[in-house]
Amino acid sequence: MQITYDDQADALYIRLVEGQQQVRNVCLTEEVTLDFGPEDQLVGIEIVDAKRVLGQGQLPHVVVDHLPVAAA
């Protein structure tokens, strides 16, 4: 897993699967987007306005069961 933050864009990205993936985006809110790769595997989470969203604890409740662990 890799977490990157772009201070100028105030955007946080959590990469769960390494490498380039062709993804399908699912917007949970205006600020939170999930990226799904092949076979609907969650590969990343993007949070814009991250300081505001994370600082105020406004992330939607998301439960992901049985998330396969990517090989290192």
pLDDT for 37-61, tens place per residue? Answer: 988 899 999 999 988 888 766 655 6
The answer to whether residue 63 is domain-embedded is no
Under 8 Å between Cβ of 60 and 32: yes
The answer to whether residue 32 is domain-embedded is yes
The answer to whether residue 61 is domain-embedded is no
The answer to whether residue 20 is domain-embedded is yes
The answer to whether residue 60 is domain-embedded is no
Full domain range(s) for residue 49: 2-55
Under 8 Å between Cβ of 35 and 21: yes
| Number of domains the chain contains | 1
The answer to whether residue 14 is domain-embedded is yes
Span 1-33, pLDDT tens digits: 888 888 899 999 999 988 888 999 999 999 999
User: Over 50: is that where the pLDDT of 72 sits?
Assistant: no
pLDDT, mean over the chain: 83
Rounded to an integer, what distance in angstroms lies between the CA atom of residue 13 and that of residue 45? 6
pLDDT the model gives residue 29: 92
The answer to whether residue 12 is domain-embedded is yes
pLDDT the model gives residue 63: 63
